[in-house]
Structure formats: structure tokens, C-alpha cells
Amino acid sequence: MFVEAALPAFATGPGGSAYSGAARIEDSTTIAEIHGHEGELKQWDEDYWDERQSSTLFSVTEEQLRPYFPLHCVLSGLFQLSSILFGITVKPADQRVEVWHPDVKVFDVYDEKGSHIASFFLDLYSRPSEKERGSWTTSFISRSKLLGKKPVAFVVCNQLPPIGSTPSLMSFAEVKSLFHEFGHAMQHMLTTVPYAMAAGLNNIELDAVEFPSQFMENWLYDNNTIPLISGHYQTGKPLPQNIFAQILKAHHYGGGSVMLRQLFLAALDLTLHTRAGEHGIIISYSSFSSTDSWTKVVKKIAERFSVMKEIPESCILCTFPHIFSGGYAAGYYAYEWAEVLSQDAFGAFEDVGLQNRKAISKIGRRFRDTVLSLGGGTDPGEVFRMFRGQDPHLEFLLKAYGI
């Protein structure tokens, strides 16, 4: 079973303003002084003033974007994009499949020949009494040639349900979450591996498990895709270009600080899981001794990767469940590495021009036949080279962060 767990604030992705401690001192300090703040900014000040700075720089909010992203429009555009890229067709299958809640929808996936190859359940609306927060994808049935089974996935999110005559209106962050999870689902459903234990999401090395999901997020910043997934719920008009331009600017905002935070968390994780010292403390760097406490380890790593120092009261390890109960122990670096892979892969599409849909479709089929098809049956490094023809390059990630 693969589950994309609800991510804590420090793992939301490039451009997010929720990276607690990912300081943008110069900008935040300036805006704070303008509004009368006195003295040095502290950790507990940073997120507030960072948000104030963001609202000053970018004249659009998530709530202003919601009317342009009704669920039916986003789903239609997502399925159209998937058809362009991967040659599939997605059709409703609600009438013949039992579901656990009336809001749950079921879809069948067909290939170019019209053959049914997979299905997925879509459970998008928040139900606090029944569902955990966040979003995730789970493999329900894995492909098995021997047993004659076709893959089935669960895709779960937590967005606002329809209210009266108003449809479910999605924030841009919720649209990104849906694209992210659909990337996972595509890898599970479009696999050609005949053995269940290595098909779809099964047996994929941690280095590459977030690759397809983060790859799908890139299409939200494509000027050719936005008209497919947006349409004001009252007028039907797509997202205006001037608003989309603000989204692009905000996407790169604070990218360097976001990257630093992810590097800090990855380095902390690897350090804690590298070598066992006394008192159960795990250490690795030669500057640490076996008697160092975990707070000292955090402090030393923060000095290298953080702009603002970690405060003693932060107890970050108590709020870092990914590396204890979340299945990412000694593997949190995979989030950043998967971005290297996904940005480089998206570069293949950018190279031919994102407006060139014919060329995009050709490359998309190659992506399907390699990254989405081979699953856990082939080394992910080999899979990437089969798609891209080379090893991944860091330059595409830096470009994505606006660096």
C-alpha cells in the first residue's frame, strides 16, 4: 500500500509561505519596520510578516482564485491534459460501482484502443469526522497478469464541498494537491509490469516515489493548461492573464529560503539515522561527538542551512513525523531529489515548446512508457535515463525556484 500522507507545513513545496523557520529576513524585516515593528524579528514573527510581505507584492489571494476553479472544470481539464500527455480517456463509472459515501466518484481509464485498463475512486470533500486532513493516494488493487487484475487506486483530498447551488470551488493549493495525487494515481494505473509486487506504486525506491506527482504540478504553471482547468463558476471565463502572471511571480517568491529549509530537514534526517552513538543518539558529522544531544545536532545543522537560528524551544523532532511514523526515515531527502527529477523531466517538454501539443503528446507517451509504465520493476535511475536520455541535471530545479 502506498499512502501520500498529509504533509506538515515544512513540506508543502516551492513558493509556499508555510515553511516555518524558512526566513526571508530582508523582505520581512523591511515590511515589519514599515508597519511599526521594533527590534529584531524572532522565529514567531517571521511567518506573519512573510505573509504581509507576500500580500504586498502579489495582488491575488487564494480566496480570490477559488471562483475560477470549480471542481467540474478542474477535473475536465485534468482529464484533457492526461489525454494529451498519456493518450488515455477517463470516463465516469459511478452507476455500477459501490462507494462508501455519496460524494465519492468512480472513474474508469481507457487506452488509445478503447480498452479498459484501470479505475480509480475520487474522494475529494472534507469530512472532519471521518477523514484525516491532507491528501493521499493509495493503491487498492495492483496489476497482476497472473490473476487477471487491473489496477485500482484511491485518490483522497480535503477540499470544500458544494454549498447550495455553488459548486465546490478550489483554492490553487487544492488544485495543486489534486494534480499531485493524480500523478501518483497515474503511475499506479498506467503500469505495464505484470507482477503485483512490482507493479504501479509497489516496490518503487524512495528516491523516485514523488517523481510523477511533482511532475504533474508543473503543468499548473503552463499558460496552455490554465485555460483547460479554469472557468469562473458564474461566467465560465478562464483565469485572466494578469492574475495568472501574479501566480507565476508568487510561485518563485522566497524559493531560496524554501530550498534551504528542505535541505536542513533532509540533512537533519540523514544525520539522525547515520550512526548510533551513546544514549541512542544518531549522529554522523565528524564535528559531533557520541555524547551530543539531539538539540545540539539540530543547532549545528541549522547553523549551516538556516538563516534564522533554531530556538531551543522548537523541539523540531516532535513535529517531524515523516522520519518516524511517516515512512521517510533516512529518506526525507527524496522530496528534494524528486524535484530534481521532475523539473528535469518537465524540461523535456519545455524544450519543444509547451504550446506545441503534437510534440508534447509524443514526449508524454515516452514518459508514460518509461516513468509511469515500469514502476518498481526497473531501477529508477535507468528509468529516468530511458525517458530523458541522460542523468538528471540540477539546473532545471534552480530555474523552477527562480534562482
Question: Could you read off the pLDDT of 26-51 as tens digits, one per residue?
Answer: 467 777 777 777 777 777 777 777 77
Those residues whose C-beta lies under 8 Å from the C-beta of residue 210, and which sit 6 or more positions away, are: 334, 335, 338, 339, 342
The residue-averaged pLDDT of 256-277 equals 80
Assign 252 a pLDDT band (cuts: 50, 70, 90): confident
The residue-averaged pLDDT of 221-237 equals 97
Assign 292 a pLDDT band (cuts: 50, 70, 90): low
What average pLDDT is seen over the chain? 85
Question: Which residue, among 93, 77, 102, 101, has the nearest Cα to 182 in the 3D structure?
Answer: 77
399, 65, 89, 345 alpha-carbon torsion, rounded to 10°: 10
Of how many residues is the chain composed?
A: 403
Q: Is the pLDDT of residue 5 over 50?
A: no
Assign 291 a pLDDT band (cuts: 50, 70, 90): low
Q: Quote the pLDDT of residue 290.
A: 55
Q: What residues act catalytically?
A: 181
Q: Which residue has the higher pLDDT, 61 or 312?
A: 61
pTM of the model: 0.85
CA atoms within 13 A on the CB side of 336: 20
Q: Is the pLDDT of residue 300 over 90?
A: no
Contact 244, 226 (CB under 8 A): yes
Q: Quote the pLDDT of residue 3.
A: 45
Assign 15 a pLDDT band (cuts: 50, 70, 90): very low
Contact 199, 376 (CB under 8 A): yes
**Cell for 165?**
447551488
Domain at 1-403: CATH architecture? Orthogonal Bundle (1.10)
Cα 185 from Cα 9, distance rounded (Å): 23
Q: Is the pLDDT of residue 259 over 90?
A: no
- Of 20-24, 38-42, 319-323, 379-383, least confident by mean pLDDT is 20-24
Which one of 3-17, 247-261, 366-380 scores highest in mean pLDDT?
Answer: 366-380
Cα 89 from Cα 128, distance rounded (Å): 32
Contact 125, 159 (CB under 8 A): yes
Those residues whose C-beta lies under 8 Å from the C-beta of residue 382, and which sit 6 or more positions away, are: none
Q: Is the pLDDT of residue 270 over 80?
A: yes
Please state, for a pLDDT cut of 70, what percent of the chain lies above it: 89
The residue-averaged pLDDT of 215-220 equals 97
Q: Is the pLDDT of residue 287 over 60?
A: no
Q: Is the pLDDT of residue 105 over 70?
A: yes
Q: Is the pLDDT of residue 10 over 50?
A: no
Strands in 136-141's sheet, in edge-to-edge order, are 89-92, 105-110, 116-125, 152-159, 136-141
Which one of 45-49, 75-79, 354-358 scores highest in mean pLDDT?
Answer: 75-79
Assign 24 a pLDDT band (cuts: 50, 70, 90): very low
